[in-house]
């Protein structure tokens, strides 16, 4: 194992590593725009230069192999001068429209300009004007004037998503990112991972049409969460309004809405990527909500609904429960403690693949569109749903149940978060919270457990399923009639 020296400090390294990788692994930051740990090396930006001791020139560290006793300096006068020149070059034609750019506040070029340049442009010539808004897909807009041609987006579509959707067209000042016409290329519209290029872009060139001009990142906070879109359980950040920046004179719903979703890097689950379905989490979780308990379609106070549900459970001799595969580990365990010995429990799929959705692939997407089937089946088995002839109560937790297939005339207790016709058909209905209103864990199909945190308070009248199970279970354990 060779030993190299970076800024005079010795580090053991591997021959497969580059100087940049060794520096990153040891807490020494070298600026970069085009390099990414999960993409091939392009060497486009020339910003990651270092100086080898004894040489009078600089070299890029992203493509510099490790060798025994290699000695490099990351902050010499020559290195600083080169970085400043590169940043001057990058800003020759880059528009100074930070005030309206969605990337403001998290733009790498902004940070580097302050850290390594900090001066006004030396150019007195008019900036080259290129396409300001080019639609790459129904999800993404490209601002070519801001593009620094790092080609991260191109490499992602070729090496990760394999859509080969993007390429570089023309040369010099007029080079632009454009849809690829090469062999095997498909439109970015059909790339189920396309929105990752928005995160990869170090500047404000690739813009989410859904997020465009809607928020500033400094008004938002990122809460760790888990995508419930399939059994992969990708780790994500859910961005939402900070309480101290709550809107008071505008629509208050903006304070409790998901602003955007981005990947949270977890090498054991999803790495730095997520599919587009994760980005659309608001479409799943922010559907119209149910806010009041009901008894046979009539809104009732919670205490009355609880009494009626307890009475139904206490009376039942052959109750059946359809268990949600969207419940957290904590909720599933609470259900097991409360009802596992009392009910015949069957795990159901709350969600099925939607029309046009990619059902499964070799990267991240799994065919089971439920986040916690692994834990549910571990606790309650994997037998298909079946009703005995003498079933006398059905408890349905969550979506996905076919009410027409339930035994006729049998009382139903239903727990659901959203408005649905079935809510009013149940003998007793309880509105329950969603994952952004809780904290808990999901375990994916490989058994890897990931945590999600609470983003918002529950709406008035909405209950946590775990607390509801505990309230019902304590009572029915005393009052249940022995079968």
DSSP calls for 409-450 = T--EEEEESB--HHHHHSSEEEEB--GGGS-EEEE-TT--EE
What's the gap between Cα 257 and its chain centre? 15
Q: Please name which of 157, 130, 154 lies closest in space to residue 144, comparing C-alpha atoms.
A: 130
Show the CA angle centred on residue 452, arms to residues 447 and 457, nearest 5°.
150
Q: Which residues of 230-265 are buried (b: 16+ CB within 10 A; e: fewer)?
A: bbbbbbbbbbbbeeeeeeeeeeeeebbbbbbbbbbe
Q: Please name which of 113, 107, 53 lies closest in space to residue 78, comparing C-alpha atoms.
A: 53
Q: What CA–CA distance (Å, rounded) separates 454 from 476?
A: 30
pLDDT for 445 equals 98
Q: What CA–CA distance (Å, rounded) separates 364 from 192?
A: 10
Q: Please, what is the end-to-end C-alpha distance for the chain in angstroms?
A: 70
Per-residue pLDDT of the chain (483 residues; tens, 9 = 90+): 899 999 999 999 999 999 999 999 999 999 999 999 999 999 999 999 999 999 999 999 999 999 999 999 999 999 999 999 999 999 988 998 999 999 999 999 999 999 998 888 888 888 888 999 999 999 999 999 999 999 999 999 999 999 999 999 998 888 999 999 888 899 999 999 999 999 999 999 999 999 999 999 999 999 999 999 999 999 999 999 999 999 987 788 899 999 999 999 999 999 999 999 999 999 999 999 999 999 999 999 999 999 999 999 999 999 999 999 999 999 999 999 999 999 999 999 999 999 999 999 999 999 999 999 999 999 999 999 999 999 999 999 999 999 999 999 999 999 999 999 999 999 999 999 999 999 999 999 999 999 999 999 999 999 999 999 999 986 554 544 433
CB 284 within 8 A of CB 226: no
Q: What CA–CA distance (Å, rounded) separates 235 from 194?
A: 17
DSSP-assigned beta bridge partners for residue 260: 239
**Architecture category of domain 3-90 in CATH:** Roll (3.10)
pLDDT for 271 equals 97
CB 323 within 8 A of CB 372: no
Domain residue spans in the chain? 3-90, 294-479
Strand ranges, E, within 339-407? 344-347, 393-397
CB 144 within 8 A of CB 131: yes
Q: What CA–CA distance (Å, rounded) separates 364 from 373?
A: 17
Exposure on the CB side of residue 468, measured as CA atoms within 13 A: 26
pLDDT for 458 equals 95
φ, ψ at 280 (rounded to 5°): -95, 25
Query: Cβ contacts of residue 252 below 8 Å, gap of 6+?
Result: 246
Q: Using DSSP bridges, classify how beta strands 319-323 and 393-397 pair: parallel, antiparallel or unpaired.
A: parallel
Q: What is the dihedral of CA 203, 207, 210, 213, to 10 degrees?
A: 60
pLDDT for 128 equals 87
3-class DSSP assignment, residue 94: coil
H/E element, 32: none
Q: Please name which of 15, 19, 14 lies closest in space to residue 48, comparing C-alpha atoms.
A: 19
- 387: its two tokens: 């009703």
CB 360 within 8 A of CB 366: yes
pLDDT for 235 equals 98
Show the CA angle centred on residue 17, arms to residues 14 and 18, nearest 5°.
135
260-263, strands of its sheet edge to edge: 220-226, 235-241, 260-263
- 309: its two tokens: 């549900």
**Architecture category of domain 294-479 in CATH:** 3-Layer(aba) Sandwich (3.40)
134-135, strands of its sheet edge to edge: 134-135, 140-142, 206-208
Q: What CA–CA distance (Å, rounded) separates 435 from 233?
A: 13
Q: Which residues of 103-139 are buried (b: 16+ CB within 10 A; e: fewer)?
A: beeebbbbebbeebbeeebeeeeeeeebeeebebbeb
Q: Using DSSP bridges, classify how beta strands 71-73 and 3-6 pair: parallel, antiparallel or unpaired.
A: parallel
Show the CA angle centred on residue 56, arms to residues 51 and 62, nearest 5°.
30
What's the gap between Cα 435 and its chain centre? 13
CB 164 within 8 A of CB 157: yes
CB 319 within 8 A of CB 344: yes
Secondary structure in 3-state letters for 238-306: EEEECHHHCCCCCCHHHHHCCCEEEECCECCCCECCCCHHHHCHHHHHCCCECCCCEECCEECCHHHHH
- 364: its two tokens: 């991240």
């Amino acid at each position: 194992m060779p030993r190299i020296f970076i800024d005079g400090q010795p580090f053991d390294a591997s021959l497969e590593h580059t100087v940049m990788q060794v520096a990153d692994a040891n807490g020494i930051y070298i600026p970069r725009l085009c390099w990414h740990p999960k993409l091939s090396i392009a060497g486009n930006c020339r910003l990651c230069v270092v100086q080898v001791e004894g040489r009078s020139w600089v070299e890029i560290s992203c493509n510099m192999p490790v060798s025994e006793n290699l000695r490099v300096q990351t902050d010499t006068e020559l290195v600083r001068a080169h970085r400043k020149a590169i940043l001057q070059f990058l800003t020759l034609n880059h528009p100074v429209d930070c005030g309206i750019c969605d990337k403001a506040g998290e733009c790498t070029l902004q940070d580097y300009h302050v850290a390594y340049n900090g001066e006004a442009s030396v150019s007195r010539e008019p900036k080259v004007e290129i396409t300001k808004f080019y639609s790459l897909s129904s999800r993404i807009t490209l601002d070519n004037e801001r593009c620094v041609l790092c080609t991260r987006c191109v490499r992602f579509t070729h090496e990760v998503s394999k859509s080969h959707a993007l390429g570089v067209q023309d040369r010099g000042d007029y080079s632009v990112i454009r849809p690829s016409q090469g062999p095997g290329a498909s439109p970015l519209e059909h790339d189920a991972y396309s929105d990752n290029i928005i995160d990869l872009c170090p500047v404000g060139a690739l813009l989410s049409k859904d997020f465009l001009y809607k928020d500033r990142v400094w008004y938002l906070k990122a809460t760790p969460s888990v995508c419930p879109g399939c059994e992969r359980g990708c780790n994500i950040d859910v961005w939402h309004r900070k309480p101290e920046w709550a809107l008071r004179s505008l629509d208050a719903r903006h304070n409790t809405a998901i602003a955007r979703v981005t990947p949270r890097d977890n090498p054991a689950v999803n790495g730095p990527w997520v599919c587009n379905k994760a980005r659309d989490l608001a479409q799943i979780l922010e559907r119209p909500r149910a806010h009041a308990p009901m008894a046979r379609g009539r809104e009732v106070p919670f205490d009355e609904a609880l009494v009626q549900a307890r009475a139904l459970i206490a009376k039942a001799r052959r109750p059946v429960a359809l268990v949600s595969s969207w419940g957290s580990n904590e909720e599933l365990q609470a259900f097991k403690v409360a009802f596992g010995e009392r009910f015949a429990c069957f795990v159901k799929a709350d969600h099925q693949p939607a029309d046009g959705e990619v059902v499964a692939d070799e990267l991240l997407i799994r065919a089971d569109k439920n986040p916690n089937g692994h834990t549910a089946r571990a606790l309650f088995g994997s037998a298909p749903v079946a009703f005995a002839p003498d079933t006398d109560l059905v408890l349905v937790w969550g979506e996905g149940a076919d009410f027409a297939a339930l035994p006729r005339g049998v009382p139903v207790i239903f727990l659901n978060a959203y408005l649905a016709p079935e809510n009013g058909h149940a003998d007793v209905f309880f509105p329950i919270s969603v994952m952004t209103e809780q904290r808990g864990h999901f375990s994916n199909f490989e058994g890897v457990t990931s945590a999600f945190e609470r983003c918002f308070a529950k709406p008035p009248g909405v209950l946590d399923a775990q607390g509801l199970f505990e309230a019902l279970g304590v009572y029915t354990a005393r009052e249940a009639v022995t079968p």
